[in-house]
Structure 1
């Protein structure tokens, strides 16, 4: 009995039990999370040109073909499959408000040679019967939205939609966004595009930060229970604080690799 009690009272036992409980809670969380697949997306806007009339410097005219337009913007939407499952036949709608006009949209699967096709319904809608002209209904719809269908969107894969558009009533940034009608899929806009687009070791800072906080718990336990010298403990904690985001990024990569292996 004394041997069993000694094992129970040993600090390592507490750490092992804590790790097992954490792993179980993480498993339950992932099971719950994967009921709805989350696709993260970011939006960015670049002003291409603006028409202007100036008595001193003269006039600036922005032409699209032979038509003069008020302004031109390039809006980019990037979508990433952040879930642990591969998705099939995912439909996306890229759309704007009534004060924005879409001219051209490029849709591609990033880091691949594949373009994203329009849906069959949208392609059929765009067809012009022989001997007729484009209808006003067609013009109204194509000026404000596009419908796409991705055959396969694998884990961590990204899509890119680049839209050339005009803001009709003013020169403020246009609002172009994206949605999906697919059941069990949720689009979530990333609120910190700087952190998303400037990763550490290829991992977004927001995700690395979460893993760094989780890793801090065992580091504190190890320093508090297993290291008797307080200066060594403080040094280890300080070193971890300096390398926390890097450790979080590495932990995230290991986590994704394990999840991909388990999921097949």
Structure 2
């Protein structure tokens, strides 16, 4: 690892894994779901790494902004690279949309440029990013053209326990195997159609999210809902 690159060891195996290949798989974007914590700090007032409790940002970034974020495993990037990430306000970042569903509407896909490393240790780093583009989840249906989404939820079939949470026009689906492997989907109901806006996949060495506007057939949605439990 050179001075302009960041990579952290996996907490389970203590090794730095091979860099994640962020393939879009026919979605509009793919990016990091976790490993990035948003702040409202300036470079002159960053807390030390010893300070574990600090205020995470509730403010969605704006295109053109420069922001300071803390990154940790599984983030792995080099200065000058661009990448997408999922922004969630502080409460839902820590506790999930199930606990704070109103924050879905202020969550967003954010396209960033990695500008510089401000400080780092073995577990995390403060970096500066420049915001290239922001797509609020609630506006994805209006920004991205819809496309056929049949089969995009098939990965849920490998899990025994599937949980569904409903909030207004949103459906959130979660499934995992003893916290080793999991997937989730965020679906928006609009004009009697089901739009898959975000699809997350995670395991020991990855935690990624796809973003798009995929129309899921009603029969596929109904089959998934019938096999699930409500939260």
Tell me which interval the TM-score lies in, with the shorter structure as reference length: under 0.3
Higher relative contact order (CA 8 A, sep 6+): 1
Point out the structure with max Rg over C-alpha.
Answer: 1
Q: Which has the higher strand share?
A: 2
**Under a length normalisation based on structure 1, what TM-score does the superposition of the two structures give?**
0.19
Name the TM-score, length of structure 2 as normaliser: 0.20
Higher helix share: 1
